[in-house]
Protein backbone atom coordinates (compact mmCIF):
# COMPACT_ATOMS: atom_id res chain seq x y z
CA UNK A 1 0.00 0.00 0.00
CA UNK A 2 2.82 2.41 0.91
CA UNK A 3 4.57 1.89 -2.44
CA UNK A 4 1.28 2.29 -4.29
CA UNK A 5 0.61 5.63 -2.60
CA UNK A 6 4.12 6.84 -3.39
CA UNK A 7 3.46 5.99 -7.06
CA UNK A 8 0.13 7.83 -6.89
CA UNK A 9 1.84 10.92 -5.54
CA UNK A 10 4.52 10.65 -8.23
CA UNK A 11 1.80 10.66 -10.90
CA UNK A 12 0.03 13.53 -9.14
CA UNK A 13 3.31 15.43 -9.11
CA UNK A 14 3.80 15.01 -12.86
CA UNK A 15 0.25 16.31 -13.47
CA UNK A 16 0.89 19.32 -11.24
CA UNK A 17 4.22 19.79 -13.01
CA UNK A 18 2.29 20.07 -16.28
CA UNK A 19 0.23 22.90 -14.76
CA UNK A 20 3.40 24.53 -13.41
CA UNK A 21 4.70 24.59 -16.98
CA UNK A 22 1.59 26.51 -18.01
CA UNK A 23 2.26 29.02 -15.23
CA UNK A 24 5.91 29.33 -16.27
CA UNK A 25 4.96 29.89 -19.91
CA UNK A 26 2.06 32.29 -19.44
CA UNK A 27 2.60 34.39 -16.32
CA UNK A 28 5.71 36.26 -17.58
CA UNK A 29 3.81 37.06 -20.80
CA UNK A 30 0.77 38.34 -18.89
CA UNK A 31 -1.47 35.65 -20.36
CA UNK A 32 -4.43 33.91 -18.75
CA UNK A 33 -3.80 30.50 -17.21
CA UNK A 34 -7.19 29.28 -18.46
CA UNK A 35 -7.58 30.65 -21.97
CA UNK A 36 -6.75 29.83 -24.65
CA UNK A 37 -6.53 26.05 -24.14
CA UNK A 38 -3.10 24.45 -24.40
CA UNK A 39 -1.67 24.82 -27.90
CA UNK A 40 1.58 24.63 -29.83
CA UNK A 41 3.43 27.94 -29.56
CA UNK A 42 4.71 27.56 -33.12
CA UNK A 43 1.65 26.53 -35.16
CA UNK A 44 -1.01 27.51 -32.56
CA UNK A 45 -2.79 24.16 -33.05
CA UNK A 46 -4.85 23.18 -30.03
CA UNK A 47 -3.36 20.17 -28.26
CA UNK A 48 -5.49 17.07 -27.78
CA UNK A 49 -5.62 15.11 -24.50
CA UNK A 50 -3.15 12.55 -25.88
CA UNK A 51 -0.65 15.39 -26.41
CA UNK A 52 -0.88 16.43 -22.76
CA UNK A 53 -0.03 13.25 -20.87
CA UNK A 54 2.83 14.33 -18.57
CA UNK A 55 6.26 12.94 -19.50
CA UNK A 56 4.82 10.20 -21.75
CA UNK A 57 3.60 12.56 -24.52
CA UNK A 58 6.95 14.35 -24.57
CA UNK A 59 8.86 11.10 -25.00
CA UNK A 60 6.34 9.53 -27.42
CA UNK A 61 6.43 12.57 -29.70
CA UNK A 62 10.22 12.69 -29.51
CA UNK A 63 10.31 16.31 -28.35
CA UNK A 64 8.33 17.58 -31.34
CA UNK A 65 4.86 18.98 -31.97
CA UNK A 66 2.54 16.33 -33.42
CA UNK A 67 1.13 18.81 -35.96
CA UNK A 68 3.97 21.04 -37.20
CA UNK A 69 6.94 18.99 -35.91
CA UNK A 70 8.51 22.04 -34.29
CA UNK A 71 10.97 21.09 -31.51
CA UNK A 72 9.79 21.27 -27.89
CA UNK A 73 12.26 22.48 -25.28
CA UNK A 74 13.55 20.14 -22.58
CA UNK A 75 12.17 22.27 -19.74
CA UNK A 76 8.58 20.88 -19.71
CA UNK A 77 9.95 17.36 -19.36
CA UNK A 78 12.34 18.39 -16.58
CA UNK A 79 9.64 20.23 -14.61
CA UNK A 80 7.16 17.35 -14.88
CA UNK A 81 9.77 14.74 -13.98
CA UNK A 82 11.19 16.82 -11.14
CA UNK A 83 7.74 17.53 -9.72
CA UNK A 84 6.80 13.85 -9.87
CA UNK A 85 9.96 12.78 -8.06
CA UNK A 86 9.60 15.56 -5.50
CA UNK A 87 5.97 14.73 -4.70
CA UNK A 88 6.82 11.06 -4.32
CA UNK A 89 9.66 11.96 -1.96
CA UNK A 90 7.45 14.35 0.05
CA UNK A 91 4.88 11.61 0.62
CA UNK A 92 7.62 9.18 1.66
CA UNK A 93 9.15 11.82 3.95
CA UNK A 94 6.01 13.14 5.65
CA UNK A 95 3.24 10.64 5.07
CA UNK A 96 -0.35 11.85 4.66
CA UNK A 97 -1.33 15.03 6.48
CA UNK A 98 -1.49 18.79 6.39
CA UNK A 99 2.30 19.20 6.49
CA UNK A 100 2.58 17.18 3.29
CA UNK A 101 -0.05 19.34 1.57
CA UNK A 102 1.49 22.65 2.64
CA UNK A 103 5.04 21.59 1.72
CA UNK A 104 3.84 20.37 -1.69
CA UNK A 105 2.14 23.72 -2.32
CA UNK A 106 5.21 25.69 -1.30
CA UNK A 107 7.53 23.44 -3.33
CA UNK A 108 5.37 23.96 -6.42
CA UNK A 109 5.43 27.72 -5.85
CA UNK A 110 9.20 27.86 -5.62
CA UNK A 111 9.64 25.68 -8.71
CA UNK A 112 7.65 28.27 -10.68
CA UNK A 113 9.63 31.18 -9.20
CA UNK A 114 12.93 29.43 -9.89
CA UNK A 115 12.28 28.55 -13.52
CA UNK A 116 10.78 31.93 -14.43
CA UNK A 117 13.78 33.70 -12.92
CA UNK A 118 16.15 31.32 -14.69
CA UNK A 119 14.50 31.84 -18.07
CA UNK A 120 13.47 35.49 -17.88
CA UNK A 121 15.42 37.04 -15.02
CA UNK A 122 12.11 38.00 -13.37
CA UNK A 123 10.55 37.44 -9.96
CA UNK A 124 6.96 38.44 -10.58
CA UNK A 125 4.91 40.49 -8.12
CA UNK A 126 1.81 38.70 -9.39
CA UNK A 127 3.25 35.52 -7.85
CA UNK A 128 5.08 36.87 -4.79
CA UNK A 129 2.29 39.05 -3.36
CA UNK A 130 -0.51 36.44 -3.48
CA UNK A 131 1.94 33.82 -2.20
CA UNK A 132 2.86 36.07 0.73
CA UNK A 133 -0.83 36.53 1.56
CA UNK A 134 -1.34 32.76 1.38
CA UNK A 135 1.68 32.16 3.64
CA UNK A 136 0.28 34.60 6.23
CA UNK A 137 -3.04 32.76 6.27
CA UNK A 138 -1.27 29.42 6.65
CA UNK A 139 0.88 30.86 9.45
CA UNK A 140 -2.27 31.93 11.30
CA UNK A 141 -3.82 28.47 11.27
CA UNK A 142 -0.79 26.20 11.59
CA UNK A 143 1.45 26.00 14.66
CA UNK A 144 4.52 25.61 12.46
CA UNK A 145 5.88 28.08 11.72
CA UNK A 146 3.03 30.09 13.30
CA UNK A 147 2.19 33.73 12.77
CA UNK A 148 4.79 35.18 15.16
CA UNK A 149 7.58 33.02 13.80
CA UNK A 150 6.44 33.76 10.23
CA UNK A 151 6.35 37.52 10.85
CA UNK A 152 9.84 37.45 12.36
CA UNK A 153 11.08 35.34 9.48
CA UNK A 154 9.53 37.68 6.91
CA UNK A 155 11.18 40.68 8.55
CA UNK A 156 14.57 38.96 8.66
CA UNK A 157 14.20 37.93 5.01
CA UNK A 158 13.36 41.47 3.97
CA UNK A 159 16.32 42.97 5.81
CA UNK A 160 18.70 40.18 4.71
CA UNK A 161 18.58 41.24 1.06
CA UNK A 162 17.38 44.83 1.44
CA UNK A 163 20.79 46.02 2.59
CA UNK A 164 22.69 44.45 -0.36
CA UNK A 165 20.05 45.85 -2.74
CA UNK A 166 20.52 49.37 -1.34
CA UNK A 167 24.32 49.15 -1.26
CA UNK A 168 24.74 47.38 -4.61
CA UNK A 169 21.57 47.98 -6.66
CA UNK A 170 23.08 46.71 -9.91
CA UNK A 171 23.86 43.35 -8.33
CA UNK A 172 20.64 42.64 -6.43
CA UNK A 173 17.13 43.07 -7.81
CA UNK A 174 14.12 44.17 -5.80
CA UNK A 175 12.39 40.97 -6.83
CA UNK A 176 15.03 39.06 -4.84
CA UNK A 177 14.28 41.24 -1.80
CA UNK A 178 10.55 40.52 -2.01
CA UNK A 179 11.23 36.83 -2.54
CA UNK A 180 13.45 36.76 0.56
CA UNK A 181 10.60 38.23 2.61
CA UNK A 182 8.28 35.56 1.21
CA UNK A 183 10.79 32.87 2.15
CA UNK A 184 10.81 34.19 5.70
CA UNK A 185 7.02 34.00 5.88
CA UNK A 186 7.09 30.44 4.54
CA UNK A 187 9.90 29.03 6.69
CA UNK A 188 9.56 31.22 9.79
CA UNK A 189 12.23 31.79 12.40
CA UNK A 190 14.79 30.23 12.80
CA UNK A 191 14.56 28.28 9.51
CA UNK A 192 14.86 31.51 7.52
CA UNK A 193 18.43 31.61 8.86
CA UNK A 194 19.00 28.30 7.08
CA UNK A 195 17.26 29.11 3.79
CA UNK A 196 18.77 32.51 3.00
CA UNK A 197 22.43 31.85 3.88
CA UNK A 198 22.23 28.48 2.11
CA UNK A 199 20.81 30.19 -0.98
CA UNK A 200 23.63 32.74 -0.86
CA UNK A 201 26.25 30.00 -0.51
CA UNK A 202 24.79 27.97 -3.40
CA UNK A 203 24.57 31.06 -5.58
CA UNK A 204 28.13 32.09 -4.74
CA UNK A 205 29.57 28.66 -5.46
CA UNK A 206 27.76 28.30 -8.79
CA UNK A 207 28.56 31.89 -9.82
CA UNK A 208 32.22 31.35 -8.97
CA UNK A 209 32.27 28.16 -11.01
CA UNK A 210 30.64 29.83 -14.02
CA UNK A 211 33.15 32.68 -13.86
CA UNK A 212 36.06 30.28 -13.46
CA UNK A 213 34.93 28.26 -16.47
CA UNK A 214 34.27 31.51 -18.38
CA UNK A 215 30.65 30.54 -18.99
CA UNK A 216 29.67 33.90 -17.53
CA UNK A 217 31.51 37.22 -17.51
CA UNK A 218 31.96 39.22 -14.33
CA UNK A 219 29.32 41.81 -15.21
CA UNK A 220 26.73 39.32 -16.47
CA UNK A 221 23.74 38.81 -14.19
CA UNK A 222 23.16 35.38 -12.66
CA UNK A 223 19.59 34.73 -11.44
CA UNK A 224 19.44 34.35 -7.66
CA UNK A 225 15.89 33.00 -7.51
CA UNK A 226 16.74 29.36 -8.37
CA UNK A 227 19.24 29.15 -5.52
CA UNK A 228 16.85 30.75 -3.05
CA UNK A 229 14.12 28.36 -4.16
CA UNK A 230 16.27 25.26 -3.77
CA UNK A 231 17.52 26.43 -0.39
CA UNK A 232 13.96 27.09 0.79
CA UNK A 233 12.82 23.57 -0.11
CA UNK A 234 15.87 22.17 1.71
CA UNK A 235 15.03 24.32 4.76
CA UNK A 236 11.42 23.13 4.77
CA UNK A 237 12.56 19.51 4.67
CA UNK A 238 15.63 19.50 6.90
CA UNK A 239 15.95 23.02 8.31
CA UNK A 240 15.25 22.09 11.92
CA UNK A 241 17.81 19.28 11.82
CA UNK A 242 20.37 21.72 10.40
CA UNK A 243 19.59 24.23 13.15
CA UNK A 244 19.86 21.54 15.84
CA UNK A 245 23.17 20.34 14.40
CA UNK A 246 24.57 23.87 14.32
CA UNK A 247 23.46 24.67 17.87
CA UNK A 248 24.91 21.35 19.01
CA UNK A 249 28.35 22.49 17.86
CA UNK A 250 28.37 24.95 20.76
Q: What is the pLDDT along the chain (250 residues), one digit of tens a residue?
A: 688 999 999 999 999 999 999 999 999 999 999 888 888 888 988 988 888 899 999 999 888 988 998 999 999 999 999 999 999 999 999 999 999 999 999 999 999 999 999 999 999 999 999 999 999 999 999 888 899 999 999 999 999 888 888 877 766 778 899 999 999 999 999 999 999 999 999 998 998 898 888 777 777 778 999 999 999 999 999 999 999 998 888 7
Cα separation values, 198 from 41, 58, 67, 78, 195, Å: 37, 34, 45, 23, 5
Q: Which of 232, 204, 235, 237 is nearest to 113 (CA)?
A: 232
Q: Tell me the pLDDT tens digit for each residue of 201-210.
A: 999 899 889 8
Half-sphere exposure of 95 (CA within 13 A, CB side): 2
Q: Tell me the pLDDT tens digit for each residue of 31-51.
A: 999 888 888 888 988 988 888
Cα separation values, 22 from 74, 113, 135, 228, Å: 14, 13, 22, 22
The confidence score (pLDDT) of residue 1 equals 64
pTM of this prediction exceeds 0.85: yes
Amino acid sequence: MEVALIIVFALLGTAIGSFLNVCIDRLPAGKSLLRPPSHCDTCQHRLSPKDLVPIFSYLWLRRRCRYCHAPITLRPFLVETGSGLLFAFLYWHYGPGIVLAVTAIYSSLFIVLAVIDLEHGLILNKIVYPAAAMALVIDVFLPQPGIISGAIGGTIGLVFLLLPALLYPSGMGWGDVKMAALIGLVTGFPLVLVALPLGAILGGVVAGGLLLLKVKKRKEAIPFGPFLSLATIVALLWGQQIVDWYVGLF
